[in-house]
Each structure stands twice: as structure tokens, then as C-alpha cells.
Amino acid sequence: MRKGSWIVVGLLLIGLGGAYFWYQKQKNRADDEPYGTALKPRLEMSSFEFTNITSERADMTMKMLIDNPLPVAFKAKGVDYKVYIGDALVAEDAYRKTIQVESDDSTLVQMPVKVYLKKMTEVLKTLENKGVDSVDYRIQSTFDMDVPIMGERTFSVNTSKKLPVYYIPKVKIEEIDLGKLGLKRTDLAVKVDITNKNQFPFKFRDTKYTVSIDGEVIAEGTQSDDIRIAKDAVTPVVFPVTMRPNKLDNVVWKALFEKKNTPYEVILDCKLISEDNSFKNSPFKTRISGTLEDLKGAKK
């Protein structure tokens, strides 16, 4: 065998020996880690925030740190993931942008999550009944990756982070006060209770609201000042609204004689302001509906 061939063989043996040594080192690290992430990408939840809240669902953004401990760069076509609060599955979603991470490097990715409030409310009610004030937020993720030399590979990675139990504020209409009857009367008041079960206060900012009775918008208003909502409490608030012209007579008639069959709807639109980053400038829009008979009284 020629001298050059021996050199090539020697280099290959050194390379294979180095690769084997690296593999054994990483394998030992993986055995010592709870999730065995030394031989695959590591996923860590940095933070999450509510980006939009409606009566039906909460949109959130999870900031996820993706770490690559491999000796080569990888490229992932996307990530499929499931979100759990405690042991309850609350959302499934996917991130479909390409993720590329160099060897021994990391990147921060913002993943969208849509949580439907009916399911979330059930989970939060269970935690509340158990007296739980913090819980594990758990992510199960799957990467389809293209790794040099190794080719296409699928990796499943789990991560969790213990955080406070976050509650969506609840708005309940107590009264719609029509004030004194009169042909020139144009103002009314909507009295609401805002329940905040979180262990921190927040504010409603840039608040707008409309009042509809029997499917017709009859009044609307805005609140220029911040509305302070106490922590772990029910805060009563009165929203003054201006009734649209020529709406009073019809509303008064229904409030007097047709309460049972007359539906109402109040739409409240604002931003949630809090020192907690999860509710920092989160748009909040809720619809409260029922019949006039459901209220303590559609006062005249």
C-alpha cells in the first residue's frame, strides 16, 4: 500500500475515533440529563405572552430557545407542538418557517399558540378547586430536520416550566341603567363586575364599548382614563355610554314589558396593562350577552 493511502487511512481512523469519543461523551451527558437532550436539539421556554384575547379564545406567543449541541448545523422545516397546562392538553399548533441553527449555537423562535377558552376555563377551574397557584406549562415538540451526513431525522423534544396559574379576566353585566325617562334623555350607564383571580393587578386602557339590545346597537362610549382592576378581587365599574338618537322609546318599551324575550349584548374592547409580562399591552375583547331579565334590573 502506498504511503499516501496509509495517511488517508490514518486520518479516517483518527476521525472515526474522534467521532466515537464525542458520541460516548454526549451519550453519557444524555444519560445524566432528565430529558436526554445531549444528542438532539434542546428546547426551552423563555417566556410567553397573551397577544390577543376574545370571548372565544386566547392567542399567545411562546418565546422558545432552540439549542443545537450537535457537532454540525441543522435545518428544520418546522416544528409541531402540543401545549399542556399540568396534564391537560390545551392547544396543538405548528411553526412552519425554516429554522436553522449552527453547531453549538442557539436561536430564539416565537411560536404562536391558540387556546380556546372553553377548554382553558375547565382546566383553570380544576386547578382552582385544588388550590393550585402555580403549574407546569409543558411543551411536546417534534422536529423534522435535515442534518449533514445523518440526513433526514425526526426528533421529539419535551420541555416544561413552572409558572403562575394565569386567569383571563371575567366581565359580568350587573345593570343597564336607563336613568330617568324623558324624550331628551341620551345617556345611560352599564354597571359591570370585573373578576381578576390573578395575584397581580392590571389596568384596562383605551377602553371602548357598545351596547346592543335586540340585535341593534343603541349606545356606545369610551373611557379615556385607565381603569384599575384589583388583584384577586371583584372590581365594580360603571361605564357611561351615549345613546344613539331616536333609540330611547323602543328600548324603554322592551325594558318595561319584554324583558324575558329581549336579548342584549355588550362588547368591551381595551388593552390589558400589567407589570407581569404575560399581560403586557395585550388586546382584550369580550362579548357579554343575555336577556334583560337576566340582569338585576334594566333600571328606568
| Whether 86 and 178 share a structural domain | no
Q: For residue 281, what is the domain's CATH number?
A: 2.60.40.1820
Give the number of other CB atoms < 10 A from CB of residue 157. 20
Q: Which three cell numbers stand for residue 207?
A: 377602553
The cell for 18 is: 474522534
Asked which of 141, 164, 187 is the last residue of a domain, the reply is 164
Cβ atoms of residues 91 and 83 within 8 Å: yes
Average pLDDT rounded to a whole number, residues 263-285: 90
Residue 256 — pLDDT band, cuts 50, 70, 90?
low
* Structural domain span for residue 89: 35-164
Asked if residue 88 and residue 42 are part of one domain, the reply reads: yes
Among residues 138, 164, 190, the one where a domain terminates is 164
pLDDT tier, 260 (very low <50, low <70, confident <90, very high otherwise): confident
Most confident range (mean pLDDT) of 7-21, 168-182, 272-286 is: 272-286
Residue type, 229: I
Last residue of a domain, one of 139, 164, 189: 164
pLDDT band for position 35 (cuts 50, 70, 90): very low
The β-bridge relationship of strands 42-53 and 170-177 is unpaired
Query: pLDDT averaged over the chain?
Result: 80
Identify the band that residue 114 occupies on the pLDDT scale cut at 50, 70 and 90.
Answer: very high
The residue with cell 350577552 is 289
Same domain, 142 and 174: no
Task: Report how far residue 193's alpha carbon sits from residue 213's, in angstroms, rounded to the nearest whole number.
Answer: 20
One domain for residues 181 and 209:
yes
Residue 11 has pLDDT above 70, yes or no: no
Q: Is the pLDDT of residue 196 over 70?
A: yes
Residue 10 phi/psi, 5° resolution? -60, -45
The identity of residue 55, as a single letter, is: S
The domain that contains 124 carries what CATH number? Answer: 2.60.40.10
In the three-class reduction of DSSP (H, G, I as helix; E, B as strand; rest coil), residue 72 is classed as coil
* Per-residue model confidence as pLDDT tens digits over 146-161: 766 666 778 888 889 9
Kindly tell me if the per-residue pLDDT of 37 is higher than 50.
Answer: no
The answer to whether position 103 is within a domain reads: yes
Q: Which residues contact 179 (CB under 8 A, 6 or more apart)?
A: 185, 187, 188, 189, 299
Q: How many structural domains comprise the chain?
A: 2
